[in-house]
Every structure is written in C-alpha cells, then in structure tokens.
Structure 1
C-alpha cells in the first residue's frame, strides 16, 4: 500500500509513458488525425497553455491518458529511420572526426595554442543546448525542431569547412554543436512518438549501435581525409548526408503539430530559465576543459568560473521551481524514483565510460606504438560488444516488456571490464585486450536504451520530451566531468612516475608534452621505462573508472519496473502502470 507521500507523488505525476504530441486525454475537442486514420482528441488547443500547473498532470476527472503512437507505413518508416540514423551518425561523428585532423589544421593556421577549442566549442554548445530542445519541440512540434537543428548543424559544418582562419573555424564548430545537441535529443523523442514503449527498445538499441559505430569510423575517416584529400572534408561530409536527412524528414515525418500562433508559442518559451541554464553549463564546462591543461586546477580563473557556474545553477533550480510557468526542467519531477536513480546512474556511468574511452587510445598509440588508424581499429571489439547487447536487450524489451535490470547488469559488466584493464602491461597480448574491450562494450550496450525507457515510463506524456533530452544532457555532463577528473589523475601520476624514474631530467617535460618527440631523446632501454610509466598512470584511470561505475551501479539498483504501454494494453485497467 502506498504511503501518503507516495500518493501525493502519484497525484502529481501519473506514470503513463508516451509523447506529449500524441496524447489523447479523455476530454477535449475532437480532431481527425490523418497520421493514424482514427478520431482522436488533441491536447494542442488554440489558447495559451502556460497556466497548466503540475497538479494538473493527473486529473482524476479525466481518467488515464490514452496514447496513440504515430507509426507510419513500413516504407515511410524505413526512410524516417534512415534519416534519424544519419542524424545520430553525423552528430556523434563530428565530435571525434576532428581529432586526427588536428596536426594538419594547426599546420595550416599556425595556431596550435587554440587547437583545443575545436573540441571544446563543439562539446560545450552541444551539451548546453540539449535540454532546451525538448521544451521547444513541445511548443513548435517535433518536425520543425529537428529540421531546425539539422539546418543549424549543416550551416556550422559549412562554416567550418570553408573557414579561412582558426577563429572562424572555432565559431563554426560552436554553431555545429548547437545543431548537434538538438539532433541527438530529437531522434529519441521522435522514436518515442512513433513507437510504443515495447517496440521502441529495439530501435533505441539500433540507434545506440550507430552511435558506437561512429566512434570507430570517425578517427579513420578524419585521418584518411587529412592524409589523402583535405581536412576540410571532415566537415563537408556532413552536408550531403545532412541534406538527405532533411529531405527524408521533410517528406515523410508527419507528427501532430501543436496549435497556436507563432507569437503565442514564443511567449511560452522560458527565456529566463534558458539563459540561466546556458550560462551555468558554459561556466562549468569551460574550467573543466581548461583545468590541468591551459590553467592549473588551483588557478583563480578555474576556481572562480566553477564557483560562478554552480551559483548560477542554483539560481536556475530556484527559478524553475518557484517562478517558471512552463519550466525547461520541472524540478518536482526529481522526486520520482526512476528519474533521480536513472540520472544518477547515467552521470556516474558517463564519467566511467567516457573517461576510460578517452585514454584507451593512449595505450595503443603510445605504449603499443600503433598508428592512429590501427589504434582506432583496436576499439572494434568495444563497438561489437555494444551492438550485441544494445540490440539483444532491445529485442528482450520487445518480447518481455522488462528493462529495469539492464542498467545494473551493464554497470556490473563495465566494472568487470575496467578492473580487467588494470591487468594491462606493456606487452599484453592482443587477444587479451580484445576480450577486455568486448566485456566493456557489452556493459555499455546494456545501459543505453534501458535508461531512456526508465525515465519515459515514469512520467506523464507531457513530460516525455523533457525527461528524454535530460538523459542525453546528464550523460554529456558525466562525460565532461569524467574526462576532467581522470585527466588530472593521469597527468599527475604520469609526471610523478617519470620524475621518479628520471629525477631532474629535463627530457621528462618533453615527453609529457609531445610523446613522439620526447621518446626520440631516450635510449631503447629508457623508452621501456617510459612505456611502463604510461601503463602505471593508465592503471589509475582504470581505478577511477571502477569507482565511478560502482557508484553508477548503486544508483541503478533503485530503478523500478514500470509497465511499458502499448496500443494493445494501455486501455486495460489491470495494466495501469505500477505506482510505488
């Protein structure tokens, strides 16, 4: 039996999954929807809806919401899936493809000091704008929002590709990041509009596999363009494929569009909350990117920006909680168990996953002395593991309707894989690294679509877009924090170990800044010691990964089972979602 506090939570947020743009309340004016050829009641009324309070989410007089999933005919659906897959592939590809082009770019613009901004500008804008797209799509519609994100992404890519200076290139990367954040968020929202909660697990797994595939292809393509054509193709490649995505979406995606004039819709946007959120994210991400690299962590600029960022974040929470009529992130949702447990698990797993992925190439390229291309191929077992478990767990969700154990299982796999990484030595056989990376990939694949389903199944349809975009946002924040923390641990341990082996040797400073140039200053026997120092420092990266993923596992054990609604079962009272 539910306690009084739990009953209050149930009254505020009824656990019925679906999309706000396809929700059919029991009352409201009738509208004929050609998308599904059936009469439905529309939640998109002409008047301003900014007065809807959180308590209106579950109206006892209206009864449970009924959801219509707008899945198009097979051929049309296939074209939409191609377009969405291209969106995910290009947005994730653009995050990593530039890495292998950096030497050529710095050589052309003679601006090595600004090169870090190529990654920082893209990552910062993509992360900062992600949470905004969910609410914007609720106001302006899914189709308009993803087309807008796609056009912005292609415009930023075009600016980057034709840049004549490093400044213009950095600006282009930042603009592309604004669009990429929307692409990643909107793909999951649109799938949730088209597919019921059981069926979407399979396709979310497929999208996760596409995301992982791009992480392998990215460095290979970037290196090939830089060596055999021009680095500018790393950005130009987005234009033809992005255009295909835009055309397919424009011609085939037909989801209900919210009613109201453009002026009324603009009034519904939470500009104050949006500004505060953007400011908080930028103020936090900048010092995390600079700390231990451009500035010491003890530098006043880093500390000041971090303090300012967390202060603005606190103000954002207060404004969204007390004043915003249509908040970007409704604070009252965080009392729901599946939300705080899933977001906590995603944050810590993001720290673990991306922290270790960021430093694995160092092992292959520095210690194993492999090229960037071969080093990228070494991560193929990791991607294979993700593909296996993301798709198979999606099929399981389709057949069985259960998902809540997958995040915990995935985190356990990744803990095991991270712990096995501590066994890495200078001469570890390739068969061992293949097995370990496969284990890590299996763990990551288990958590992908299950986390999205966990939050979608826990809230009313009107909040579906908001909680879905928050999944991507929290994971991205975890990535940034993980790379920053792990980077500091790695750099400090590497310097300490090298100085312990070569006390007072000025060549150590060269090795830490430019490994290839520094190694040439040492004899073969001394190089072996340097390789062992790198391995020793990497072990501390893996220690951090185990610790972070252990926290993610603890949080994931709180995720509860929720009935996944389908067109077939949602009308049955006995299958009303569990409220605990």
Structure 2
C-alpha cells in the first residue's frame, strides 16, 4: 500500500512508463478515462488490460507529464547524455584508421572485419530491448548498466592481448553502446515536453554527426603519435564522467516490484529471436561482396535464415508475450510505419554519403586521410545548422511535419549534385554540395523522433523512441552494404576492362598510394574509373533518399504534448512507483 508520502511524490511522476494501472489521486473527485483524445495507439481490442480502467484525477492539479530538473542538475544530466551519444557514435568509426596498426601487431588480417562487425551487431540488435527493459527496471538503472558495459568493453579492447580478446571487447562495448544511443533520447523525453525537447535532440544529433567525422581523425592521431589502444582508452575518463553525473543527478521514478517479478516481464523469446535475426542479416551484409561472393551458399544461407527468423519473431511478438519488446499493433499507426520507413532509407543515404565522400578527396584529390576527413566539415556544419534551427522552430511553433520531407528533398538534391564530382571540381563547389547534403540530414533527425512520440500513448514512448535509433542504425548497415557492393563491383569490373593484362591492378582499390606507380596517362584512367564508381554509389544515395522522401509524405501532424496543454485533459497515469 502506498504511503501518503509516496502518493505526494507521485504527483510529480512523468507518465512515460510501460504499462498503466489505476492510481487514486488523494484529493480527486472527478474521473477521467485513460485514453486521451489525441492518442491513437490502442491495445488489442479483445484483450483486457489495466488501461481500460478509469482513474481519479484532480483537474486543478493534474500530474505533470514531464519533469525537468533544476538548472544545475539538468545541465549535468545533459552533459552525461551528450557524452553518451558522442562516445557510442565515436566508437563505431574511430577504429577504422587504427586497423593497419592492429593488423601489424596481431598479424590477423583475416579477422580484422570482426572489429566493426562485432560492435555493430550487438549495438544494433539490442537497441529495441533497452526501451522495454527501461520501462521495467527504470531509466537510471538501465542507463548505468549501458554505461558500465560500454566501459568494460572499452577496457577489454584497450588492454587486449590477442585479436580474439579485442573482438570480444568490441562486442561487449557494442552492448553498452546500443543502450546509450537508445536511453539518451528516452531520458531526454522523460524530462522535457515535446516542444522543448526538439532543440536538445537537435544538439545531440549534431554531436552524433560530429563524432562520425572526427572519429577517424582521432583514431589516426592516436595511432601515429601514441598507440592505437588510446582509441579505446579515451572512452574510460569520458565515460566515467557520464556515470558520475547520471548516478548523482538523474532522479526519475523507478517502477515498483521485486527483481524476480521484473525479470518475468522481459520478453526473452522475442529478444533472442531479434538477436538471431539481426545477427544473421548483418553478417550477410557485412561479408557479402567482400569475404564471400553475394551468390555464395554462405551469404544466401545467412539471408534466408535471417528472413525466416524475422517472420517467426513477428508471429511471436504478435501472439505470445504480454509485454513484447516491439508491439506489432503499433505498426498500424500511420506515423509509426511512415517515420520508420523514412528513417531506414534515410540512414542508408546518410552513411552512403558519409563513407564515400572521403574516398573522393583521398583518391581523386590526392589528399591525406586527415585532410580528406576535414573536407567533410561542411557536411557536418550543415547538419548542425538545421538540427538546432529546426529544434528552435519546433519549440516556438510546435510544428514539425514538413521537416522530414524537406530534409529528404535536400538530401536527394545534394546526392544528385555529387554526380558533378570529377577530378577538376573546384573546392567551392564541393563545399556547397556537402553543405546541401548536411542541411537535409539535419532536418530529418529530431522531427522524426517527435513524429512517433506524438502519435502514441505515453506508455509506448520508450519503445518507439528506442526503435527510432534501431531503424536508423539498421538502415545505415543496409546502406553501407548496398552502396559498398555497387561501388566495389563497378570499380573492379571497370579496372579489369581497362587494364586487361595487369594482374595487380586491383591493388589500387586497397592501397591508394599504389596509383603513383603508374604513368600519367594510366593514372588519369584510374582516377576516371574511381569517379565513375563513386557516381554509381551516389546513384544509390539518390535512390535511398527518394524512398525516404516518399515515406515522409505519409507523416501526419499530431499535437506535441506539454504540461500546459495537457492540464485538465484526460491523462494516462504511470504504474505505481517509489
């Protein structure tokens, strides 16, 4: 039985928990139903649930939907969240420039692809699970768990004595990174109302994009001047700051119940099936066209196993668990499927541009990896501008529905303009084109999150928010695999056609410096071949962003809920908390 003190504390509880039950307000006289007028996600009609009950609410003092801590406390929490986004996205790509040194130390060239694959698999596959688990165990506990797993994985990687140990460390770090990316936006959504959170999501999105660019630069600097191990050790002090700030400042309510009862609520069947599905598909996409041919039995078998597992997962989530990690009925909501489709295809376009623009500068412009990375600054600058400005617009006007379509249209334009890249393209043109691409990407970040949050009941907020990160990550994996396959196939086939008697010509695809061993006329032919292959990669980006644009046309505007505009309305109270 809740005490009077605990009931007073519940007056300030944000309504973002996973399931709702009737909680009496001790001064209330008037009854309100749980289903709000502006919520569209409904439970299965044939299943009785606690949310069917009425709840007593005092219209003069309704419980707030969102709880923003005092300024100093809020600043430290935001610092911790920003560090979480920065480290998780940085660790995804920082190791790329350290690969030659790692290969030399461990003499394990055949296993080097696992450094990225192990991290990518665990971080992507577990993101949806974090949303539901945070509803069961509370935001603070799950955020601290993700931080600790990330730090443990970073420590194992930094002090690894073998390639196997390094790969294990990367997989453990990925477990934590997936939680960091999901929980950062869930916690932010608990603290801020929907209009105010847009500008903060824009800032976090800008940090994510910035870390994607400076990651290779930092990895290269550590490898050249100290040791590649600092690519992982750098996470420890920064991650420790995040842990401390979360530990002492994050004070969101924790759901009641014993540990054993909470464990029983976890959808283990769905979690295992999702992990198997994502692992099979990601392995096929990572290995296809590089380690194995796309038509090999290994790749076809992995894809078939992944598809079968995905079908079983959907059936299980639809019929079996009481609290599925991905409620299938949510996908009946227009804003859910349209936004996730836009995020999936947009993620493919984003990472397609991010990964292949540096090749243009390093090969065609003959710049170093460091300078080539700096050339992408206009791309990041564009993301920062529109991420923050769109967040401010949402705060002031409360509208967001046009931003995903506008952003995807700009990405289409920028990707098409990338087809103008040739050996003699002036720098001012490359700056303008990359700026256009970045402006478009920035417009699609936080409005997409708000679109799904505004369309659903508060109890689904954590689930749909975690799925935002999952769909974008999954789309980026598909995008990199497809764009990479198209680029590599076009490059290799054209080089073979133009240099039929040269058995070593494909060496230029791995070692760009090897191009200088050829004469001026041959170098010109090689550069033209790279440009042509890059154009095919950008064709893929145009296709991805076009599909994202079509999906974004179906996004509808829903009122952004705030404490002010929800006062006195029908509200959905959270589970009883302590």
For the criterion TM > 0.5, the same-fold answer is yes
For residue 155 of structure 1, what is the aligned residue in structure 2? 152
Q: Aligned equivalents of 2:490 and 2:132: distance in 1? A: 44
Question: C-alpha distance in 2, partners of 1:456/1:472?
Answer: 13
Is 1:394 aligned with 2:391? yes
**Aligned counterpart in structure 2 of residue 545 of structure 1, from 541, 548, 569:** 541
Change (3 A) 1:162 1:347: same
2:481 to 484, 498, 516: 484
CA positional deviation for 1:504: 3.1
Maintained 8 Å contact 1:125/1:177:
yes
Tell me how far apart the structure 1 counterparts of residues 566 and 501 of structure 2 sit (CA, whole Å): 71
Kept in 2: contact 1:205–1:393 (CA 8 A): yes
Q: Deviations over 1:167-198 (max 9, x none)?
A: 11011001000000000000000000000000
* Separation of aligned partners in 1, 2:170 and 2:305: 25
Counterpart position of 1:239: 236
Q: Which residue of 2 aligns with 1:8?
A: none
Report Cα offsets for 1:350-371 as digits up to 9, x if no partner. Answer: 1111122111111111111111
1:530 matched to 2:501:
no
Corresponding residue for residue 557 of structure 1:
553
Residues 260-298 of structure 1: per-residue CA shift (max 9 Å, x gap): 000100010111111001011001100100000000000
Contact 1:507 1:521 survives alignment (8 Å): no
2:563 is matched with which residue? 567
CA–CA distance in structure 1, aligned partners of residues 484 and 15 of structure 2: 39
Give the aligned partner of residue 71 of structure 2: 74
Residues 465-521 of structure 1 show CA distances to partners (whole Å, capped at 9, x for unaligned) of 00000011111111111111111111111122212222232132222343323x143
**Matching residue of 1:28:** 23
Distance 2:46 2:511 in 1: 57
What pairs up with 1:321-360 in 2 under 5 angstroms? 321-360=318-357
Question: Relative to 1, partners in 2 of residues 1:394 and 1:63: Cα closer, same or farther, differing over 3 Å?
Answer: farther
Distance 1:166 1:114 in 2: 8
Whole-Å Cα distance in 1 between the matches of residues 47 and 493 of structure 2? 54
Q: 1:348 to 1:54 in 2, by over 3 A?
A: farther
Output aligned runs, 1:303-452, within 5 Å.
303-452=300-449
Q: Within 2, Cα distance between the matches of 1:117 and 1:71? A: 41
Q: Tell me the TM-score normalized by structure 2.
A: 0.90
Shift of 1:67: 4.5
The equivalent residue for 1:102 is 99
Aligned counterparts of 2:569 and 2:52: Cα–Cα separation in 1? 16
Structure 1 distance, partners of 2:229, 2:45, is 48
- Give 5+ residue unaligned stretches, structure 1: 1-17, 33-40, 44-49
Contact 1:57/1:460, CA 8 A, preserved across alignment: no
Check 1:55–1:202 CA distance in 2 against 1; reply closer, same or farther (3 A cut): farther
CA contact (8 A) 1:19 1:465 kept: no
- Deviation (angstroms), 1:115: 1.1
- Structure 1 residues 139 and 528, CA, compared in 2 at 3 Å: closer, same or farther? same
- TM-score by structure 1 length? 0.90
CA distance in 2, matches of 1:434, 1:121: 34
Inter-CA distance 391–243: structure 2 relative to 1 (3 Å threshold)? same
Q: Secondary structure at the match of 1:376?
A: helix
- The residue that corresponds to 1:133 in the other structure is 130
Output one character per residue of 1:205-243: Cα deviation in whole Å (capped at 9) or x when no partner. Answer: 010011111112211111110011000000000001100
| Residue-by-residue CA offset, 1:306-328 (whole Å, 9 max, x unaligned) | 00011001000000001111100
CA contact (8 A) 2:18 2:135 kept: no
SS of residue matched to 1:422: helix
Distance 1:157 1:574 in 2: 46
Q: Which residue of 1 aligns with 2:456?
A: 459
Q: What is the CA-CA distance between 1:24 and the residue it aligns to?
A: 8.3
Moved more, 430-439 or 351-360: 351-360
Q: Distance in 2 between matches of 1:51 and 1:559?
A: 23
Deviates more, 1:295-304 or 1:567-576: 567-576
CA distance in 2, matches of 1:570, 1:280: 40
Deviations 1:37-64 (A, max 9, x none): xxxx9x9xxxxxx999866486474499
Is the contact between residue 99 and residue 112 of structure 2 (CA under 8 Å) also seen in structure 1?
Answer: yes
Give me the whole-angstrom Cα distance separating, in 2, the residues matched to 1:377 and 1:336: 42
Alpha-carbon separation, structure 2, partners of 1:31 and 1:193:
24
1:288 equivalent to 2:288? Answer no
Q: Corresponding residue for 1:521?
A: 517
The Cα of 1:159 is off from its aligned counterpart by 0.2
* Contact 2:24 2:55 (C-alpha < 8 Å) held by counterparts: no
State how far apart, in whole Å, the 2-side matches of 1:528 and 1:204 are. 45
The answer to whether the Cα contact below 8 Å between 1:97 and 1:222 also exists between their aligned partners in 2 is yes
Where 1:20 maps in the other structure, the secondary structure is coil
Deviations 1:298-352 (A, max 9, x none): 0000000100011001000000001111100000000000000000111111111
Tell me by how many angstroms 1:22 deviates.
9.6
Instruction: Name the residue aligned to 1:207.
Output: 204
Separation in 2 of the partners of 1:29 and 1:376? 58
For residues 75 and 207 of structure 1, the distance between their equivalents in structure 2, rounded to whole angstroms, comes to: 19
| 1:97 shift after superposition | 0.7
What SS does the aligned partner of 2:196 have?
A: helix
